Amino acid sequence: MGETITSPKQKRIGAVSFLNTKPLVHSLIQSPIPDIKLSLGYPSLLSDQLEKEELDLALIPIIEYFRQPNYRIIPDICIASKGQVQSILLFSQKPLSQCNTVGLDSSSRTSQALVKILLAEYWQIHPEFVDCSPNTQPSNHEADAVMLIGDQALRYQKDTRYVFDLGEIWQQLTGLPFVYACWVGRSNAKLGDIGRILNQAKDEGLSQIDIIASEEAEKLGFSFELCHRYLTKHIFYNLGSEEIDGLEYFYQLAQKYDLVPTDRSILFFK
Residue 187: band (very low, low, confident or very high) from pLDDT cuts 50, 70, 90:
very high
CATH code where residue 235 lies: 3.40.190.10
Closest by CA position to 236, among listed 68, 54, 33, 24: 24
pLDDT at position 253 is 98
Of 150, 174, 198, which residue constitutes the final position of a domain? 174
Of 120, 139, 174, which residue constitutes the final position of a domain? 174
Q: Are residues 98 and 131 in the same domain?
A: yes
Mean pLDDT of 258-266: 93
Tell me how far apart the alpha carbons of residues 135 and 125 are, in angstroms, rounded to a whole number: 26
Residue 58 belongs to what domain range? 11-80+177-256
Tell me how far apart the alpha carbons of residues 42 and 141 are, in angstroms, rounded to a whole number: 21
> 66-92 burial, b if ≥16 CB within 10 A, otherwise e?
bbbeebbbbbbbbbbbbebbbbbbbbb
Residue 6: band (very low, low, confident or very high) from pLDDT cuts 50, 70, 90:
very low
pLDDT digits (tens, 9 = 90+) for 20-70: 999 999 999 999 898 899 999 888 889 999 999 999 999 999 999 999 999
Q: How many domains does the chain have?
A: 2
Residue 81 to residues 98, 127, 133, Cα–Cα distance (Å): 28, 26, 24
pLDDT for residue 7 is more than 70: no
Q: Are residues 102 and 215 in the same domain?
A: no
pLDDT at position 158 is 82
Residue 3: band (very low, low, confident or very high) from pLDDT cuts 50, 70, 90:
very low
Are 235 and 86 a contacting pair, CB within 8 Å? no
Q: In what order do the strands lie in the sheet with 145-149?
A: 128-132, 101-105, 145-149, 88-92, 162-165
Run of H or E residues at 29: helix 22-30
Q: Report, in angstroms and rounded to the nearest whole number, the Rg of the chain calculated over CA atoms.
A: 18
Is residue 182 in some structural domain? Answer: yes
Tell me how far apart the alpha carbons of residues 3 and 125 are, in angstroms, rounded to a whole number: 41
Is residue 264 in some structural domain? Answer: no
pLDDT at position 65 is 96
Q: Are residues 193 and 170 in the same domain?
A: no
Mean pLDDT of 147-173: 91
pLDDT digits (tens, 9 = 90+) for 73-125: 999 999 999 999 999 999 998 999 999 999 998 777 888 999 999 999 999 99
Percent of the chain with pLDDT over 90: 76
Tell me how far apart the alpha carbons of residues 34 and 36 are, in angstroms, rounded to a whole number: 6
pLDDT at position 217 is 96
Q: Are residues 92 and 167 in the same domain?
A: yes
pLDDT at position 2 is 47
| Helices 109-121/241-256 angle, 10° precision | 70
